[in-house]
Every structure is written in structure tokens, then in C-alpha cells.
């Protein structure tokens, strides 16, 4: 078992929630005094907290880093990431379809908090840095490193995965919530199999990197307007959903034993 994993288990949910509330309080105060910072700064502050909290585990960090693919091959991690990326595009198609054909939904989404809680808008530092680096590190340490570990102590592991993944999905914007929940489940399974949060961080980093590459490479918005692209990505999304469901069902039999 990873020593870094052991150190993360010592951090309680209450402790993390207090830190988050404190960071949010600082953010509100700064906004009152006309410093319009986004919520992403909270995630940066959360990373600083974890660095401080785990400051005595440098050797354990190096050990985990060298063993990042000890229990799961790079090929397996990349495969999981790819199917999740394709599935997320399928969910984006579905959400756009819902906006077009469900009366009043666009108004509800526009007036909701969904657009405000997207965690890739760290403008002063750069959205790319936030999405590719800050989000994967902070979210994996928080949700898999702390929430999953602590919830496992009070509820069955399958429930802990469900709760953690739903909370993770709730942080994402409209169109990404379902795919984020599914991705969260996959990250929980990776964490339980490897006991190495760095493996999850790498997978999350790769997922966000591929998503950003597709976004910036699609100058003409062909993925959402060209019929051929829509058909291809829809088929890939369906295949990805099948692969994810099959894999999760297979792993679920052994979940509560971990």
C-alpha cells in the first residue's frame, strides 16, 4: 500500500471542508473589495493546503511517482481516458439536443449556477493551466484521496464511490455533469486498484489535456456542426459507454472487498 495513500487517509473530511470554507470566505472578501477572482483560486489554495499537509512525505511521494504504473499499465490508463473523452462528447451532443427541444431548459440553465461553477476559468493564470494542471491535482487529492478514503470507513465502498462521484460531477457545468460522474467512478476504481493517487492525477491530467486539444483544434466547431463528425463521435460515444459499463460492472463485483 502506498505511504502517500496512508497519509491522505489521516486527513478528515471535516478538516478539508473547513479549509474550503475558509478559502471561499477569503474569495468573497476579495470580491467585496473589487478583486473579481474565480473559484479556481480556491483550487489553487487547496493544492497549497495539501502540499503543506503532506510536507513530511516527500520520500513517499517520490516512491509513488516511480510506481505510478506499477499496478496499472500506461495503456490501460490511456484507454480509460480515451473512452471517457468520447463518452463526454456524446453527453455534450445529448445536452445540446435537450437544449434545442425541451422548452424552457435553456432559460433554466442560463439562470442556474452551472455556468458559474465550471472549474477551468482561472483567467489571470490561464484557463489551460487551470484545466490541465490545477483541476486534476486538487480534485484527485480532494475526491479520491480524502473523500473516498474517509467515506469508505462509514459506508460500503460502492456507496462511497457513488457519493464521491456525484459530488465530483456536481462541480461541473451543464452538459458535463453525467460524464463527470462516470469519469469520477472510473477514477475511484483506478484509485482502489492502484492505491496511488498520482495515477489518478495522471489520468485526469491526460483526460483534460485531450479535451482541451480537441476544443482548440476544432476552430470551425465541426465536431458540433458537421454531420460526419457528429455521426463518428456519436458512434464512438456509444461504444465508449458500452466499454465503460462493461468494465465498471466487472470491477463492481470486487469493489467492497477493497
pLDDT tens digits for 201-221? 999 999 999 988 888 887 777
Instruction: Please tell me the distance from the alpha carbon of residue 53 to that of residue 12, in angstroms, as a whole number.
Output: 12
pLDDT band of residue 119 (cuts 50, 70, 90) is very low
More confident residue, 129 or 174: 129
pLDDT band of residue 124 (cuts 50, 70, 90) is very low
More confident residue, 59 or 174: 59
Is the predicted pLDDT of residue 166 greater than 50, yes or no?
yes
Question: How many C-beta atoms lie closer than 10 Å to residue 235's C-beta?
Answer: 12
- Of 108, 117, 153, which Cα lies nearest the Cα of 10? 153
Q: Looking at 38-52, 99-113, 130-144, 223-237, which range is the least confident one?
A: 99-113
- Strand (E) positions, the chain? none
Can you read off the three cell numbers belonging to residue 228?
A: 460526419
Is the predicted pLDDT of residue 44 greater than 80, yes or no?
yes
Q: How much is the average pLDDT of 77-85?
A: 94
The predicted pLDDT at position 106 comes to 65
Q: If you average pLDDT over every residue of the chain, what do you get? A: 85
Instruction: Please tell me the distance from the alpha carbon of residue 19 to that of residue 45, in angstroms, as a whole number.
Output: 9
Angstrom distances, CA of residue 208 to CA of 33, 35, 42, 142: 33, 28, 19, 17
Which pTM does this prediction carry?
A: 0.89
Instruction: Please tell me the distance from the alpha carbon of residue 19 to that of residue 42, in angstroms, as a whole number.
Output: 10
Amino acid at each position: 500500500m502506498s505511504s502517500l495513500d496512508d497519509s491522505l487517509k489521516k486527513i478528515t473530511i471535516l478538516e478539508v471542508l473547513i479549509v474550503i470554507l475558509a478559502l471561499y470566505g477569503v474569495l468573497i472578501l476579495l470580491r467585496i473589495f473589487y478583486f473579481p477572482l474565480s473559484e479556481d483560486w480556491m483550487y489553487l489554495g487547496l493544492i497549497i493546503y495539501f502540499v503543506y499537509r503532506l510536507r513530511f512525505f516527500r520520500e513517499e511521494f517520490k516512491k509513488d511517482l516511480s510506481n505510478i504504473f506499477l499496478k496499472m499499465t500506461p495503456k490501460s490508463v490511456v484507454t480509460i481516458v480515451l473512452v471517457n473523452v468520447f463518452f463526454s462528447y456524446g453527453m455534450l451532443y445529448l445536452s445540446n439536443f435537450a437544449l434545442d427541444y425541451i422548452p424552457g431548459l435553456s432559460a433554466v440553465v442560463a439562470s442556474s449556477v452551472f455556468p458559474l461553477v465550471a472549474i477551468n476559468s482561472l483567467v489571470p493564470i490561464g484557463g489551460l493551466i487551470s484545466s490541465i494542471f490545477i483541476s486534476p491535482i486538487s480534485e484527485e487529492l480532494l475526491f479520491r484521496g480524502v473523500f473516498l478514503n474517509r467515506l469508505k470507513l462509514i459506508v460500503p465502498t460502492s456507496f462511497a464511490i457513488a457519493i464521491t462521484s456525484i459530488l465530483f460531477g456536481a462541480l461541473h457545468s451543464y452538459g458535463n455533469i453525467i460524464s463527470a460522474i462516470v469519469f469520477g467512478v472510473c477514477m475511484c476504481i483506478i484509485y482502489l486498484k492502484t492505491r496511488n493517487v498520482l495515477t489518478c492525477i495522471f489520468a485526469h491530467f491526460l483526460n483534460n489535456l485531450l479535451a482541451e486539444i480537441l476544443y482548440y483544434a476544432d476552430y470551425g466547431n465541426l465536431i458540433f456542426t458537421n454531420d460526419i463528425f457528429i455521426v463518428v463521435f456519436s458512434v464512438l460515444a456509444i461504444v465508449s459507454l458500452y466499454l465503460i459499463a462493461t468494465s465498471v460492472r466487472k470491477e463492481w463485483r470486487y469493489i467492497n472487498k477493497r
